[in-house]
Amino acid sequence: MRTAPTILHLDMDAFFASVEQASKPSLRGKAVVVGGLGPRGVVATASYEARVLGVHSAMPMGQARRLAPNAAYLVPRFGLYKAISDQVMELLRALSPLVEPLSLDEAFVDLEAGGVAWDEASARLAGVRLRADIRAVTGLTGSVGLAASKMLAKIASEQAKPDGLVVIQPGTERAMLAPMPVRTLPGVGPATGDHLRRAGITTVEDIVEAGEDELVRLLGKAHGHGLYAMALARDDRPVTAEREAKSVSVEDTYDVDIHDRLRVGLEVQRLADRCVRRLRGAGLSGRTIVLKVRRFDFSTLTRSETLRGPTDDPGVIREAAARLLDSVDTTGGVRLLGVGVTGLADYTQEDLFAQAAGARVSTERAVEEHAMAPAEEQPVFAGRRWPAGHDVRHAEFGHGWVQGSGLGRVTVRFETPGSEPGRVRTFRTDDPDLEPADPLPLVLPGQDKGRGPKDETGASRLRPVAQYTDADG
Ligand code: DCP
Ligand code: MG
């Protein structure tokens, strides 16, 4: 393991909710919940103001509404989040060629490989500047962890939340980990945590004391060895830039269309097993299960479900594929079926034990649910949609966003990222003066948000605004 804290982990704070607050001045400092608003919707994320009330990711939306009845409830705007994420990732790539994104708002960076840090002081400076640049370019805050390994850098950024920076000095890792709950370690989810607790193991120190043999006895060979090494703060996993394979998938085209639903189900199970064999053959696991169906008329559908952590468990992948198939109408016949796994990882799985035990630890992400069932979640009137939180433009009042709609009316708050909190007006949903609009940039050129001295950061080379400019931007 390296001797300086030059692995950086960045995680943006309350990402989707922070983007919404930056975009809507009236929501700053308020409880904001982003997620699926339909009957089966779940919370994608909540602003820190809403978290105080007990709302968190993956919670059913109904429960969130009971806990925070006065919060703003918004549907996700992935295009916007992706554009901001691209800006953040570009800042990271300016630091090092070795950037490993884990999701839209999270990545590891090997600062040493980029030549920007070699010891604690230089690593800390790179982290401080990065946070300032992210704020200047996107208007948002991200938390940074710095350590000598991926595991510890991630633990550090968690400790830094929100809006902070934590450095774990090499040499202090084991003492720091010792009193922490076992759940802190990667690979320990609720099921593994319970299993260990029943064996009297609740802290990282308990794992070390139990010894490697006992861990292997409790959790099996791979997971036991891996977890014991993590408890000793031994983690040599390199930061890897692009993954070679972005997905692993298999598909079959049938000579004769399959009509029998039962047969379709069996084919999907068979494909899921084949896909798992490939995945395991490549030593990979993945988070997102994809089902592809081409119907008799050549219409092709893909459905996907994202699990909480990567898996290569045949039972988990088979079950997910079967669930996805449930949402597809195959009457009329099927010409082609495919099963794939994306979001690949070769690092420790989130909760191997639970997956092996067949327990369902996956929560369907609000993200996927929204992408799959837009019609269910967005009110449609006369062919026009006014999803809560989306941007609109009114011929007379200008740019605003949908605060709510129903009974033939849509309520719009007229404000922009750079304006004061705006006023609300109500229109008929078929008002010809009102039309959907693209999001505006969160930060305008020249409008610096808390940037320190500019020159040394290197950020001035960046595009000043995101790619999502409005027509009259
Ligand atoms: N997300 C989601 N469904 C989940 C978890 C997260 O759709 N079950 C989305 C919304 C989040 C984003 O992914 O904004 C990033 O996830 P994080 O776990 O990093 O959570 P946040 O960034 O929202 O908050 P934190 O400040 O705790 O990082
Ligand atoms: Mg985050």
pTM: 0.72
Residues of the chain with CATH 1.10.150.20: 175-231
How far is Cα of residue 371 from the mean position of the Cα atoms in its chain? 14
Element (H, E) at 72: strand 72-74
What is the model's pLDDT at position 190? Answer: 81
- Cα distance between residue 60 and residue 42, in whole Å: 4
Residues in contact with ligand 1 by the CB-under-6-Å rule are: 11-16, 44-45, 57-58, 103, 105-106, 161-162, 365-367
The residues of the chain that CATH labels 3.30.70.270 are 1-167
Q: How far is the CA of 257 from the centre of ligand 2 (A)?
A: 45
Question: What pLDDT does residue 35 have?
Answer: 92
Residues bordering ligand 2, an ion, CB closer than 5 Å: 11-12, 15, 105
Strand partners, 424: 413
Q: Which CATH superfamily is domain 175-231 in?
A: 5' to 3' exonuclease, C-terminal subdomain (1.10.150.20)
Please give the class, per CATH, of domain 1-167: alpha beta
Handedness of CA 419, 424, 425, 429 (dihedral sign): positive
- Residue nearest ligand 1's atom 2 by CA: 44
- Ligand 1 atom nearest the C-alpha of 162 is 26
Three-state DSSP class for 229? Answer: helix
The CATH architecture of the domain made up of 378-436 is: Roll (2.30)
Q: What pLDDT shows up at residue 353?
A: 36
Q: How much is the pLDDT for 221?
A: 81
The architecture that CATH gives domain 247-346 is 2-Layer Sandwich (3.30)
Between the CA of 281 and the centroid of ligand 1 the distance, in Å, is 31
**Ligand 1 atom 20: the closest Cα is on which residue?**
14
> In b/e form, how buried is each residue of 9-40, taking b as 16+ CB within 10 angstroms?
bbbbbbbbbbbbbbbbbbbeeebbbbbbbbee
Please state, in angstroms and rounded to a whole number, the distance separating the CA atoms of residues 255 and 249. Answer: 20
The pLDDT tens digits for 424-450 are: 999 999 999 999 999 999 998 766 554
Please identify every residue annotated as catalytic.
Answer: 106
- What the block records as the tokens of 144 is 């940074």
Q: How many CB atoms sit inside 10 A of residue 52's CB? A: 11
The full DSSP string for 28-49 is TTS-EEEE--STT-BEEEE-HH
Q: What share of the chain is helix, strand, coil (3-state, %, to 5)?
A: 35, 25, 40
Q: Which amino acid, 100?
A: E
Domain with CATH 2.30.30 in the chain: 378-436
Largest pairwise CA distance in the chain: 73
Contact status, residue 429 vs residue 405, Cβ threshold 8 Å: yes
> What is the SS3 assignment for 136?
helix
11 carries a ligand binding annotation = yes
Q: Please, are residues 393 and 435 in contact by the beta-carbon 8 Å criterion?
A: yes
Cβ–Cβ < 8 Å for 278, 271: no
Identify the residue whose C-alpha is closest to ligand 1 atom 26: 13
Prior bond to 170 cis, omega within 30? Answer: no
Under-70 pLDDT residues of the chain: 242-245, 345-384, 446-473
In the chain, residues under CATH classification 3.30.1490.100 are 247-346
Look at residue 258 in the predicted model and tell me its pLDDT.
Answer: 94
Question: Which ligand is closest to the CA of 161, given by its number?
Answer: 1
Give the pLDDT confidence score for residue 271 in this predicted structure.
Answer: 97
Pick the closest to residue 326 from 362, 375, 293 (CA basis): 293
